[in-house]
Amino acid sequence: MLDGIFTGLSTAVMPFNLMMVVVGCFAGTFIGMLPGLGPISAVALMIPITYGIDPSSGIILMAGVYYGAVFGGSTSSILINAPGCASTVVTSFDGYPLAQQGQAGKALALAAYSSFIGGTIGAIALLIAAPALAAVSLSFQSTDYFALMILGLTAVAAFSGKGQVIKAMIMTVFGLMIATVGTDKTSGVPRFTFGSVDLIDGISFLLLAMATFALAEVVMTILNGKHKEKDAQLSMAQLGSMKLSKEEILHVAPTVARSSVFGFIVGVLPGAGATIASFLAYGLERNIASAKEKLKFGKGSLRGLAAPETANNAASTGSFVPLLTLGIPGSGTTAIMLGALIAAGVQPGPRLFVDNPEVFWSVIISMYFGNLVLLILNLPLIPYISKLLTIPRPILTPLILFFSITGVYLVSFNTFDIHMMVMITVVALFLKLLEFPMAPMLLGYILGGMMEINLSRALVISDGSFAFLWERPLTLGIMIAAIFMLCLPPILERLNKRKAVSGPEVAINEGEG
Amino acid sequence: MIVTKDHIGGLIFLCLSVIYGYYTGDIALLPGDEYEPFNSQSLPYALAMLGGALSLGLLITAKSDLNNKLSLRGYDFLLVFKLLLLVVLFALALEWVGFLLATVFFLISGYWLLGERRTKMLLLASVPFAIGIWFALTQLLDVYLAPGQLYILLFGG
């Protein structure tokens, strides 16, 4: 492991990679601050840049953007009560009341410290957990991979929120259907191309990700009329002091410790991600608080702010465990990273640890740097970065549109891709209006190709029999876990009906964190 | 009966699954592939059936709740249509007038559509930006950007 750490350190401290961490954190903070644009959109916007650089630098950049976007989302949650992404919705429950009480600076500082500690503890846990899991997963066979992919797909559907399970599963199937467009990788036969040469290579991952998460998100804000809203412009004087007293630190320390571990574990679960971790950590903290402290939740409780902030960063780090070791993304954002890595010729999964150790380790090491950058550089600069939000929306929106479109065009130099993007955006908008979650579709699309290859291999080996699903104990275990994941939402729903839950009720739309 | 978002969604995906399943039959098979345990049509057929079953499941379990009814009121569809049309025109402009002019046209039109009317702002936020991006791509990153069909027609390749 020590060798690996040195490999990672030597790659991560390269000036270009350090610059990627800094640039990623800044770009992520800025994009994450924009209401409506979350980590998925921020990471999707970075894909075209990663095509031109080394895979290690690319994933370091995307990881930096991921943290930055989660942090930026917290900032807009606290300052203007407009969460940039789903994982920071809970932050606004107590962060915004604090800002209204003239303690915005304190809330921002606490959010930054909590994120830093959550992210750092998460990174340490990742350092221990990822190589151990990677070593175990080296013994996986194609049957296990197929079962793992089924687990990844069902987990995303299971965590998609109340009443959304069937919709999420339909979207997963839709993603798998999109993945079948183009030349079949095993036989070389074209499928669903309808004679079009432009579809021979299938629908590109970049195009799909940009259309559904960058373009569609921006167009959705226009459809809702949000582009007409003026963001609150806070001056530095309004932020108040950024210092926390010793009592306050002691008060939130146990919360931060609990939420770090809890957030990391939730993040590791395929499909859960930062959003669910932040909601669960807030709920946990509220449940174990004293009656007096419980009353403060929702009115500016420091514990209520620290818990989700710590958990969402720890979970963001935790979601890298299944991505790096099994090639199964833990969230929508890591699904995009998986697609970008595959496009760059790097196959995440057990072999990544062996074939591309520099990618594996440099991501883990760069996470420490990312957390440091957020704390040392971004926190003091927040008053200035938030000023960027004062750029009028009629100017900012076409610029984001421009970057989304040219990001795709500059990779293929084919204007057909722009037309295709528009078509996919229209479909995505319609599906969003019907409240279908987008993340499962992207995950289905990314895992579709690999799933088909592994299923094909497994079936050929077992001579067409599906007995491989229960003959090997490991495969059987994973399949049972997948079935359990599918049965979990109805069980939880029934339990929730029995136990009336009080407090701020917020629906989790999709496991996108 | 109230037709809800779930009913509409379920029906759309049911139709999609049927069409998808129908076109799966058009996928060519290599000689002898029909006897293989897994061929190019296997997964698409399975997906069509799974998609159909899930869509039916959604249609059956959808509750006729008034809150879940699709309401298109309050959405600015016209503006979205104009912006998406602008994106299509941008793609055409890229082919005909090249990257630089197409970008200036796209940005000015985009700002205008979203309500910016000050000429100075329209020009300042588009021309320097487009030149900057064009310069960075062509001169710094050495990316070749085709000059556009119109330029080639007028001045030759």
Determine the structural domain holding residue B85 and report its residue range.
77-155
For residue range A374-392, list pLDDT tens digits in order: 888 777 887 777 676 677 8
| One-letter amino acid for residue A459 of the chain | L
Nearest to B106 among A392, A402, A421 (CB): A402
As a whole number of angstroms, the distance between CA A149 and CA A132 comes to: 20
B142 versus A232: the higher-pLDDT residue is B142
Q: Which residue has the tokens 């921006």?
A: A218
pLDDT of residue A124: 87
pLDDT of residue B89: 96
Residue of A nearest to B8 (CA): A434
At residue A319, what are phi and psi to the nearest 5 degrees? Answer: -70, -10
Nearest to B107 among A224, A402, A413 (CB): A402
pLDDT of residue A389: 67
Mean of pLDDT values over B98-109: 94
Nearest to B38 among A174, A392, A456 (CB): A456
For residue A492, give the nearest of A269, A161, A169 by alpha carbon.
Answer: A161
Q: In chain A, positions 42-71, which contact chain B (CB-CB < 8 Å)? A: 52
pLDDT of residue A148: 83
pLDDT of residue A505: 45
Residue from A401, A411, A451 whose CB has the most chain B CBs within 10 Å, to mutate: A401
B142 with B97, same domain: the answer is yes
A364 versus B79: the higher-pLDDT residue is B79
pLDDT of residue A84: 65
For residue range B47-78, list pLDDT tens digits in order: 999 999 999 999 998 887 777 788 888 888 99
B29 with B89, same domain: the answer is no
Q: B105: pLDDT confidence band, cut at 50, 70 and 90?
A: very high
Torsion of CA A306, A307, A310, A312, to 10 degrees: -130
B62 with B85, same domain: the answer is no
Which residues, given as ranges, of chain A have pLDDT below 50?
233, 236, 503-512
B27 with B95, same domain: the answer is no
Least confident residue range of A231-240, B1-10, B91-100: A231-240
As a whole number of angstroms, the distance between CA A154 and CA A148 comes to: 10
pLDDT of residue B8: 93
**Residues in B touching A174 (Cβ below 8 Å):** 13, 16, 51
Q: Which of residues B68, B87, B103 is at a domain's end?
A: B68
Is the pLDDT at B111 greater than 60? The verdict is: yes
Q: Which of residues B25, B46, B68 is at a domain's end?
A: B68
The domain limits of chain A are: 2-498
Is the pLDDT at B136 greater than 60? The verdict is: yes
B48 with B84, same domain: the answer is no
Q: Which residues on adjacent β-strands are paired with residue A190?
A: A183
Long-range contacts of B96-101 (CB under 8 A, 24+ apart): B96/B148, B96/B149, B96/B150, B97/B148, B97/B150, B97/B151, B98/B145, B98/B146, B98/B147, B98/B148, B98/B151, B99/B134, B99/B137, B99/B145, B99/B146, B99/B148, B100/B130, B100/B131, B100/B134, B100/B145, B101/B148
Q: B3: pLDDT confidence band, cut at 50, 70 and 90?
A: confident
B94 with B151, same domain: the answer is yes
Q: Which of residues B29, B45, B68 is at a domain's end?
A: B68
Residues in chain B: 157
How many inter-chain contacts (A to B, CB under 8 Å) are there?
A: 154
B114 with B51, same domain: the answer is no
pLDDT of residue A506: 45
B88 with B113, same domain: the answer is yes
How many domains are contained in chain B?
A: 2
As a whole number of angstroms, the distance between CA A280 and CA A258 comes to: 12
Q: In chain A, positions 147-176, which contact chain B (CB-CB < 8 Å)? A: 166-167, 169-170, 173-174, 176
pLDDT of residue A503: 47
As a whole number of angstroms, the distance between CA A144 and CA A149 comes to: 9
Mean pLDDT of chain B: 90
